[in-house]
Amino acid sequence: MRSRLASYTDLSLAMVIVGSSVVAGKLAIAEFPVFLALGLRFVLAVAIIVPFLLYLEKGLPRIGWRDFGLLAFQCFCGGVLFNVFLLYGLQWTNPASAGVITSSTPAVIGLISFVFLREKPGLFKLLGIGAAMAGVAVLRLADNSAATATAGAAGATDTSVWGYLLVFGAVLGESIFLVLRKSLHADLSALAVSFWISLLGMCMFAPMAVYQGLGFDFGAVSKQGWLVIVYYAVAITVLAYVFWFRGIRDVPASSAAVFTGILPVSAVLLCALVLDDPVGPWHWAGCGGVAVGILLIARGERRHTKAPEAPQTSQPAKEKENVPPEAPDSPGPPDPIIHRPDRPRKFWSRRPPTL
């Protein structure tokens, strides 16, 4: 089993990379239709993963029907339900409300791990999940306050219960996608899981991607647009999947839930660096809340994995006075009469009976 520090590093890197999808998505959607961009992303990801599988694992991974069904359900939740529910949910609710709902992702993952994986979170895990949720909520509110004010001025702040349910459905789909790796076969490597997720995602998005691609002018795409699609495939799909699936294998799902709070932190910082979006004090406060949550989880894991000390005896060790000396090693089986005096004598005994 890998060390917890290595697993935490993998989870953090995965969420940092996924956070960059906000920037990459804005740049990709500016030149590609949504389903076409997602389809090209998975096609390139499969083309990249296959050579590594052939070289490192000497062939494509074989899985049983149970794992295939779990992987298909995982891909459907994370690839289809999350995107569809979130896009349609935003049409029936304001961005601020949607941001608060999506900040519940750590808690939803913790609940799924408790109900289905039978993981019992301790005090530090619960405090860490709460701190991460608070930090993410502050980040979402800070990001969406201006959009809400603009929508309110235009009279477009109508919300609906269906909007809330759809956004929460997106959160549930993402949570299932992130946790379901714990239910797959243990021998299935992170690279193999990434291959199957990418292959199934390519198949699920293929019909709409082909439909949008038939009337699309690929020659009008700039060099930057193609580079963004390549980045989407290499980093956000292959590397992020491998890091997350490798990290969550040796970490409880309730602990991994807190690391999902790194995603909005990475998105805010990268948007400020690349897209020149403003970063205010509330953004830094939200980042601090996520950092506190991660520290609490790490503290709880150290307490949980700390080896118990050997019990101290109240009396000093006594000298070995009455301990008989060890018998010298003798070849062959031990004599049944010497070592088992209570054993009934047999007629084939090597020693004659004593008169």
Residue 350 in this model has a pLDDT that exceeds 60: no
Instruction: Report pLDDT for 295.
Output: 78
Q: What percent of the chain has pLDDT over 70?
A: 73
User: CA 311, CA 74: separation in Å to the nearest integer?
Assistant: 46
Coil, strand, or helix at residue 340? coil
Gyration radius (Cα) of the chain, Å: 29
Q: Taken in order 63, 66, 68, 70, is the CA torsion positive or negative?
A: negative
How many other C-beta atoms are found inside a 10 Å radius of the C-beta of residue 185?
Answer: 13
Helix runs in the chain, H state only: 4-19, 21-29, 34-56, 65-75, 82-89, 95-102, 105-115, 123-153, 161-179, 190-214, 223-231, 240-247, 253-259, 262-274, 281-305, 336-339
Nearest Cα neighbor of 242 from 52, 105, 36 is 52
What are 89-109's pLDDT values in tens digits?
767 776 556 666 677 778 788
Give residue-wise pLDDT tens across range 246-283: 998 888 887 888 888 787 777 777 777 776 767 777 77
Q: What three-state secondary structure class fits 279?
A: coil
Residue 237: HSE in the Cβ half-sphere, 13 Å Cα cutoff: 32
How many other C-beta atoms are found inside a 10 Å radius of the C-beta of residue 295?
14
Helix (H, G, I), strand (E, B) or coil at 328: coil
Question: Are the CB atoms for 54 and 284 separated by under 8 Å?
Answer: no
pTM of the predicted model as reported, rounded to 2 decimal places: 0.72
Are the C-beta atoms of 63 and 185 separated by less than 8 Å?
yes
Encode burial over 219-241: b for 16+ CB neighbours within 10 A, e otherwise: eeeeeebeebbebbbbebbbbbb
Condensed to tens digits (0 to 9), the pLDDT of residues 211-247 reads: 999 989 999 999 999 999 999 899 989 999 999 999 9
